[in-house]
Amino acid sequence: MRKQINRRDFLRIASIGTASAIALSCGLIEDPHLLSTEDLDLMPTDISQADSGTREAEVLILGAGISGLAAARTLVDKGIRVIIIEARNRIGGRMWTDTSLGVPLDLGASWIHGVKGNPITELAKKFGVQTVASDYDNGLVFDFDGREMSDSEYTEIEDLFESIYEEVAQMQEDTDNDRSLQQAFDEVISSRDLSAEELRRLNFYIQGVTSLEYGADPDDLSLWEWDQDEEFGGNDVVFPKGYNQITDGLANGLDIRLGAKVVAISYGADGVEVNTSSGMFLADKVIVTFPLGVLKQAEVKFEPPLPELKQSAIDRLDMGVLDKVYLKFPGVFWNEEIEGISYMGERVGEWCDWLNFVPYINEPVLMAFHGGAKGYELEELSDDEIVAGAMKTLRVIYGDEIPEPDGFIITRWGKDPLAFGSYSHIPPFASGDDYDALFEPVDEVLYFAGEATSREYPATVHGAYLSGVAVAGKIA
């Protein structure tokens, strides 16, 4: 069944100071506090820098994100000797709870998308981690001049979008040629007699639907395949004390070597040899969980090179970007009960989507999302320029008297050299088959896991987790 699309669903996505405030940029400044046990009962016990201990295992796992941890946990529970090798000085990968503003804030994933039947829900229960449900209908929409839109005005935009989307969906079913989702929208829109104002509002809506959830704009998404993924039912929930409680729980007792960047992997009938910035590791088998962005950059050398089918899947699929700007204020100046704040600004996709964190953590924190091309554009600006852009928008909505933030955090996932983007999507002429090709093992020695190997649930924590469990099942 086709998904219901609602722009207020933007929360499904992401999965959302002064210049002297704390600035933390993904991948540029690592977070030494991340492995602190503060607020957490759960703590991995065998995490060490890579220069210690034995360098041989039955299975090497490359990457200590959720997929690598899930694979390791599953294998270790079956009595298999595993070492996880991780380039960062922390575990979690694209799950990254930062506490530099004095409260836990997730710079990567925030939500369990759909708690019903979701394996991450089970982990949250197992580790006794608190969650809070998101209410996507609990939001306000402001027009470009800061005026709050009425429900009926917003419903008009939703209805317009839905009527256009119905035709686009039909096109998706009927067409024999793939093209971009944007081209399909353009074809339908050009057959309508829309006013400039209707167009402006429609574009705002369309951009939000795709760029936040997929990290890509409609012109970067395949009409045929962009929404081929599956979903779990039930609410979406966040973790007031951070998503890393889940990765820390999984990592408990695992042998994890931090600070070891893999540069080359040689594999064959005799096993594998993995060369890292901290020396060589040997094993019978290896599981590669690098993000698609890292594989696309081809910074890690495979010997022999990856088979054509896998390499062409890597080339066809794409990585998108979703970035977050957190602002912590001295006090709340907005309506503290709402969750989503949407702004239909002059520029589509710019400072449009905000989240109020008071309902989640009871702290005066706002977060803005930017996805797709806008996300990449913002990454080029300085921290000061970004904070100034945020404040300019907030002043349009809430007036000139609002205070400057006490602190901010800005992510730049596109520039992160161990991710090169936030998550994968399917551009024109790629397909769900490419996710399957990425998962496919090579010679029963070289195995793959990670969100971009999950055909059903790409771009999610649960997809990455399930791929880790599945690959471990294959090996065990």
Ligand X SMILES: Cc1cc2nc3c(=O)[nH]c(=O)nc-3n(C[C@H](O)[C@H](O)[C@H](O)COP(=O)(O)OP(=O)(O)OC[C@H]3O[C@@H](n4cnc5c(N)ncnc54)[C@H](O)[C@@H]3O)c2cc1C
| Least gap, CB of 15 to ligand X (angstroms) | 2
Nearer to ligand X, 237 or 396 (CB): 237
Rg of the chain over Cα atoms, rounded to whole angstroms, equals 22
| Least gap, CB of 281 to ligand X (angstroms) | 11
Can you tell me the distance from the alpha carbon of 259 to that of 51, in angstroms, rounded to the nearest whole number? 9
Nearer to ligand X, 21 or 322 (CB): 322
| Least gap, CB of 289 to ligand X (angstroms) | 5
Give the residue ranges of DSSP H helices in 111-266: 119-126, 151-174, 181-190, 196-211, 244-251
List of residues contacting ligand X (CB under 6 A): 14-15, 62-68, 85-88, 93-95, 108-111, 113, 261-262, 289-291, 294, 300, 322, 324, 413, 418-419, 422-423, 450-451, 459-462, 464
Nearer to ligand X, 15 or 100 (CB): 15
| Least gap, CB of 378 to ligand X (angstroms) | 13
Beta-carbon contacts of residue 469 (< 8 Å; ≥ 6 apart): 70, 71, 74, 119
Beta bridge pairs of residue 318:
425
Cβ atoms within 10 Å of 322's Cβ, excluding its own: 28
Helix (H, G, I), strand (E, B) or coil at 187: helix
H/E stretch holding 36 reads none
Nearer to ligand X, 245 or 422 (CB): 422
Please give the structure tokens belonging to residue 262: 């893999």
Nearer to ligand X, 84 or 396 (CB): 84
Q: Tokens 């080359």 map to which residue?
A: 264
Can you tell me the distance from the alpha carbon of 408 to that of 387, in angstroms, rounded to the nearest whole number? 8
| Least gap, CB of 51 to ligand X (angstroms) | 15
**Summary count for the chain: helices (H), strands (E):** 13, 22
Helix (H, G, I), strand (E, B) or coil at 177: coil
Nearer to ligand X, 6 or 183 (CB): 6
| Least gap, CB of 294 to ligand X (angstroms) | 4
Nearer to ligand X, 142 or 302 (CB): 302
Is cis: bond before 218, omega within 30 of 0? no
| Least gap, CB of 421 to ligand X (angstroms) | 8
Residues counted in the chain = 476
